[in-house]
Amino acid sequence: MSFDLASRLAERHAAHLFRLRPLLESPQGPEVVVDGKPLLAFCSNDYLGLASHPEVIRALQQGADRWGVGGGASHLVIGHSTPHHALEEALAEFTGRPRALLFSTGYMANLAAVTALVGQGDTVLEDRINHASLLDAGLLSGARFSRYLHNDARSLASRLDKASGNTLVVTDGVFSMDGDLADLPALCAAARQKDAWMMVDDAHGFGPLGASGGGIVEHFGLGLDDVQVLVGTLGKGFGTAGAFVAGSEELIETLIQFARPYIYTTSQPPALACATLKSLELLRREGWRREHLQRLIARFRQGASEIGLQLLDSPTPIQPILIGDSQRAMQLSALLRQRGILVGAIRPPTVPAGSARLRVTLSAAHSEAQLERLLQALAECWPLLAPEVNDA
Ligand SMILES: *Cc1c(COP(=O)(O)O)cnc(C)c1O
C-alpha cells in the first residue's frame, strides 16, 4: 500500500482545478512582474496600496535596526516586545475596544478565538461561506457546529433556537470571495436575543470600510455589546502581516491564558509591528485612499455592467465577475493575461461548485487609467469566451 498522490493530482488536473502559483518577481502593487512578464494586476488584497508604501518600508527598516529581526520566543516567554505591545494598544484604541491581542496570522487568530471560547457541549454557528479558517476553527473546537444560510438572520435564528451551551455566532464581515457585507445589525440582534456571542472576522473591511477605516463595525456603528469578538488581519488593507483580536479585558486575558495558537508559537518580528503602527496611522489619516477606491468601485461596476458581465452585490473593492464553469473562468483569466492583465480565477472548493469567478480586486494604488485598461480588456475578451457547455 502507498499513498496514491499521482492519481489525486491527475484528477485535480482533469477537473480544471489544479492550482499553480504565479511567481511574483516585483514588489506588490498595480504593476507587477509575474513569471517574467510585466502585468497590470487586479488580484491582491492590498486595498489601500500600503504594502509597498515608502513610509511603511522605512518603519520596517528602522524597526529592524532597533529591535533586530526574530521575535525570539513566544509572547508568554520573552517574545512580547515593546513594539508588539504598542501596536496592541493602538489597535485597541483604533477599534474602540478595551484591549487587542496580536497574532502572527489571521488563520491563527481565528483558530485561537473560536477554540478558546467554545468546546464540547457548546455550539458554534457559522455562515455557510465563511472563510476556511473560521470553518476549520469551528470543526477543531469540538463544539456542535452548524452552518446557516448565507447572510440570513432567519436561518441563524432557527439554529439559535436549537443551540445548547455557550453559543458563538461567527461571520466574515466582508465576505472574502463575494465582497458583500454581513448583515450585522440583523445577525447581532438575533444573537443577542439568545445570549449568544458574535464574532466577526473583518479581514477585508478594515481599511476600505468605515469613515476612518475601522471596518464593518464602524460602518454600522456597532460596539462591544453587539460584536464581542472582533478579528482583523493585517496582511490586507494594512499592507503588512499578522492579525488581531479586539474585545473586552476578560476576552483578551482568556485568549492569553487558554488559546493554544497564541501560546505555542513565536511572536511575529517586532519590526513588523513597527511597520504596522505606521500603516495604521496612514490607514486612519489618509481618507483620500478610501474616497479614490470608492470612485474606482463605482466606475468598475458601471463599466462591467455595460459589457454585460455578471457582478455580485458588492460595495467593496472585491468585485467578482461570476462565470460559473471553472474552465471558462480559467479561459477568461488567460485571455486577460494575454493582454497584460492579471486577474485570478477562483474555483471550487474555494467557492461553491458551479460558481467559479474572476475575483477582481481594486486598490487605492490603481489609477483611473489603469482601471480603464481593465475594462477595455474585458470588453475585448468577454465576446471571445467559449459558450457555456451545459454538462451539469
Ligand atoms: C485572509 C483571511 C484570513 C486569514 O488571514 P491571514 O493573515 O492571511 O492568515 C482570515 N479570514 C478572512 C476572512 C480572510 O480573508
SS3 per-residue string spanning 122-185: CEEEEECCCCHHHHHHHHHHCCEEEEECCCCHHHHHHHHHCCCCCEEEEEECECCCCCCECCHH
Say if ligand 1 is within 6 A of residue 235 CB: yes
Query: Cα(187) to centroid of ligand 1, in Å?
Result: 21
Q: Ligand 1 atom 10: the closest Cα is on which residue?
A: 106
Q: Is the CB of 350 under 6 A from ligand 1?
A: no
Q: pLDDT digit of tens for each residue in the chain (392 aa)? A: 689 999 999 999 998 888 889 999 999 999 999 999 999 999 999 999 999 999 999 999 999 999 999 999 999 999 999 999 999 999 999 999 999 999 999 999 999 999 999 999 999 999 999 999 999 999 999 999 999 999 999 999 999 999 999 999 999 999 999 999 999 999 999 999 999 999 999 999 999 999 999 999 999 999 999 999 999 999 999 999 999 999 999 999 999 999 999 999 999 999 999 999 999 999 999 999 999 999 999 999 999 999 999 999 999 999 999 999 999 999 999 999 999 999 999 999 889 899 999 999 999 999 999 999 999 999 999 999 877 765 44
Q: 54-285 is classed in which CATH architecture? A: 3-Layer(aba) Sandwich (3.40)
Domain ranges (residues) in the chain: 20-49+287-384, 54-285
Residue 317 backbone class (left: φ over 0; alpha: ψ -120 to 50; beta: rest): alpha
Q: Tell me whether domains 20-49+287-384 and 54-285 share a fold.
A: no
- Say which residue the cell 477605516 belongs to: 213
Is 207 in contact with 237 (CB distance < 8 Å)? yes
CATH domain 20-49+287-384 topology = Aspartate Aminotransferase, domain 1 (3.90.1150)
Q: How far is the CA of 298 from the centre of ligand 1 (A)?
A: 25
Note the pTM of the prediction, 2 decimals. Answer: 0.96
- In three-state secondary structure terms, 360 is strand
Active site residues: 176, 204, 236
Question: All 3 cell numbers of residue 88?
Answer: 496592541
